[in-house]
Amino acid sequence: MLPREIGRSVHHYIRPQYRSTHVSSNTLQACFRDIRVRHNHGLSATAVNGHSSTFQARRSPNTFQSIVQLHNKPTPLNMNPTTICQRGIITATYGASPLIKYNRRLAAFSKEPQACLQIFDKCREIYDANIKPDLTTYSILMEAFERNNDAQGVMRILEEMTLVGISPTIGNYNVALRAAAVGGETLLLQKVQELIKDAGLKMSIQSYEIVIQGLCANQELEHALDLIGDMTVAVNKDGLPDENGRPLIDIRPSLTCFQHIIQLALTLHESETAYFVLKMAEVQAGLSRIPSVVYTDVMATAAEDYMINAVEYCWNKGVKELQAQPDEGVCMQVLNCAGHCKSPKLAAEVIQHMGENGMEFHDYHFAPLLQAFSLAGKFKSALNVLSIMRSSGMKPTVLTATSLLKVLDEPGTIDEVMLCMREMFQEGKSIDVVGFNVVIEACGRGKDLTRAMSVFQTATSFGVTPDTDTYNALLTGCINDRNMVEGRKVISMMQQAGVDPNVDTYQSMISLSLTQINYEDAFMYLEEMKSHKVIPAEPIYTSLVRKLARENDPRIKLAVEEMESFGYTIGPNLREYIETGGLSNLEESERRKQIRISQRRRSSYLSQ
């Protein structure tokens, strides 16, 4: 109560003959004390002209009378409900149930998350004192059971309230719904909803939020979708509202309802469902209310599932409009999706976003961009990516351009790439050696060694300086063509150009030697490789052992021992290959079958 209002109340509580400056200070202090008492306890006062006035207190059924005295002189407890003191100041009674004291303590405990035991102890005191609890007591006790994850305890409180004639409110039922939702007890959720219906109450938006949360906790996606579908206006396939659709439940779902379902759909990798619910949320809850993190979450999971439509939509809404800041991991997922789904525009925007936010670039960030351009048939842009990477201080490799290499396996694509390189050179743009090597590698994989050599001869005209990978790409064509003569020629050109071989070069020469009838050069290159303190890879030893097994070469024992000395394991398939002299499992089965047939014939002949 404001000071001015207090002054007006005092003026009305003093009898007319005492409304003067001669009122004693004790009398005024008593009046102020009485007003504060009534203000704190919610008492209503009515001043009556004459010799009496009454205070009517809001009383509970089990309250007891407590006299409030306004003077220093104590008042007997058996005073009548309405009393006038000697100075004409009114004294009265107000309800002060002993339950109020307990409820205040319970309310204080309820604000502390870890005070469940104190609430239970205080309720035990109420029971021992034979005091009848009211709605407030039961409500606080229910919340304590709910915080203690005791859904059955909450249900017992509801049942007891009904038995003692206290009608639970929708807030009480929401506590029961929340207790069931946390544990994912959908049957209990359904039971509480039936109780709400039987009580003649109507579920609130908080009730539906809790129910949907419980359904999602139990991973009942379809049930949750049905429920929110009944609460929303029907939408068409584009996510726009249908004017003729009317919700079955006359409560508009909140953003929380949609978020629970979206998160469950993302957890189950139902990206299409999550994207559809997100579109529903924009229509029902309003686009401006949806936080950007919802878009980034949907975008990340949709990127894993290669749903390019959802990814592009969430990128435009969440990142470009709502200024979301996805981390490097999410950006990498979007890049991979863009590369896989032929979306160079999205990949370029992600690269730009990463640069604007100061993220450090690596070659694996540009590989999806190169893939997107390659799959989209934009070979000139793909070759430009390699040049940009080189100028930015990165070193692209053939592995970086694997996506371009796969595309070049298709008929006619090599001619297109060669045309693009010629146009780039005429435009004054540099052609990265990796792009040049990929073309040679594609020719070799297509068993067109002649064309691979022809492309190699154009290196000077394109301003490209061949490196080690260029010669290794030529050796790939030699292996597929089983052409040892051209292989030696490549090694000779490599030495004349002053290009040092690497591990791949030695392995290619060993593999090429093993394709020949005379495979002695394989041992020479193997020893030369080890002389440079380089351990040959396991596939090299496997190819060598298989060749020795097929040729029944006695050096196979030394090769196996050396292979095992480097820590390589002789698998069961390779061991069987060695034991059968290089025969495959099918060939060995056929051989053993013929042996058994011969043995039967011999036995039959001897029995006759």
Q: Kindly indicate the confidence band of residue 240, based on its pLDDT and cuts at 50, 70 and 90.
A: low
Q: How far is CA 522 from CA 486, 501, 530, 534, 538, in A?
A: 16, 16, 12, 15, 15
- Whether the pLDDT of residue 435 is over 90: the answer is yes
Angstrom distance (rounded) from CA 214 to CA 193 = 13
- On whether the CB atoms of residues 258 and 289 are closer than 8 A, the answer is no
pLDDT of residue 86: 39
Which pLDDT score, from 0 to 100, does residue 548 have?
A: 92
353 pLDDT band (50/70/90 cuts)?
very high
| pLDDT at residue 437 tops 50 | yes
CB 381 within 8 A of CB 348: no
Angle, helices 379-391 vs 413-426, to 10°: value is 50
The contacts of residue 333 (CB under 8 Å, 6+ apart) are 300, 303, 304
| % the chain with pLDDT above 90 | 48
CA angle 302, 304, 306 (to 5 degrees): 65
Top-confidence residue, 295 or 606: 295
Lowest-pLDDT choice from 233-242, 273-282, 481-490: 233-242
Confidence category of residue 573, pLDDT binned at 50, 70, 90: confident
Cross-strand bridge partners of residue 241 = 235
> Can you give the pLDDT at residue 53?
33
pLDDT tens per residue across span 106-152: 888 888 878 888 888 888 888 888 888 899 998 998 888 888 888 89
Tokens 């003077």, located at residue: 71
Please give the full DSSP string across 393-423, using - where no structure is assigned.
Answer: T----TTTTHHHHHHTTSTTHHHHHHHHHHH
Cα–Cα distance, 581 to 100 (Å, whole number): 96
The confidence band for 267, taking pLDDT boundaries of 50, 70 and 90, is: very high
pLDDT at 231 over 50: yes
Task: State how far the Cα of 115 lies from the Cα of 108, in Å rounded to an integer.
Answer: 9
State yes or no: pLDDT of 209 exceeds 80: yes
Mean pLDDT of 343-348: 94
Alpha-carbon distance 388 to 430, whole Å? 10
Q: Is the pLDDT assigned to residue 416 strictly greater than 80?
A: yes
| C-alpha span between 462 and 460 (Å, rounded) | 5
Calculate mean pLDDT across residues 12-16.
36
Q: Tell me: pLDDT of 73 over 70.
A: no
| pLDDT at res. 266 | 94
Question: What is the per-residue pLDDT for 595?
Answer: 62
pLDDT higher than threshold 90 for residue 347? yes
pLDDT attached to residue 242: 56
- Specify the DSSP element, H or E, that contains 92: strand 90-95
Least confident of 83-87, 219-223, 387-391, 447-451: 83-87
Per-residue b or e along 556-568, where b marks 16 or more CB atoms closer than 10 Å to that residue's CB: beebbebbeeeeb
Q: Does residue 537 sit in helix, strand or coil?
A: coil
**Does the pLDDT of residue 92 top 70, yes or no?**
no
Whole-angstrom distance, CA of residue 120 vs CA of residue 62: 22
Average confidence (pLDDT) over 33-44: 39
Mean pLDDT of 546-565: 91
Coil vs helix vs strand at 83: strand
Among the ranges given (176-180, 251-255, 368-372, 524-528), the one the predictor scored with the smallest mean pLDDT: 251-255
> What average pLDDT does this structure show over 141-168?
90
> What does the pLDDT average to over 58-85?
31
Size of the chain in residues: 608
Q: What is the pLDDT of residue 277?
A: 93
What confidence score (pLDDT) does residue 316 get? Answer: 94
Average pLDDT over residues 509-535: 91
Using one digit for the tens of pLDDT, what is the confidence trace for 293-325?
999 999 999 999 999 999 999 999 999 999 999
pLDDT at 81: 36
How many percent of the chain have pLDDT more than 70? Answer: 77
Q: Is the pLDDT of residue 155 over 60?
A: yes
The DSSP-derived string for 351-386 is HHHHHHTTPPP-HHHHHHHHHHHHHTT-HHHHHHHH
Q: What value does the mean pLDDT of the chain take?
A: 80
Structural contact between residues 27 and 89, judged by C-beta atoms closer than 8 angstroms: yes
Average pLDDT score over residue span 404-410: 90
Instruction: Provide the pLDDT for residue 41.
Output: 42
Tell me: the pLDDT tens digits for 440-481?
A: 999 999 889 999 999 999 999 999 999 999 999 999 999 999
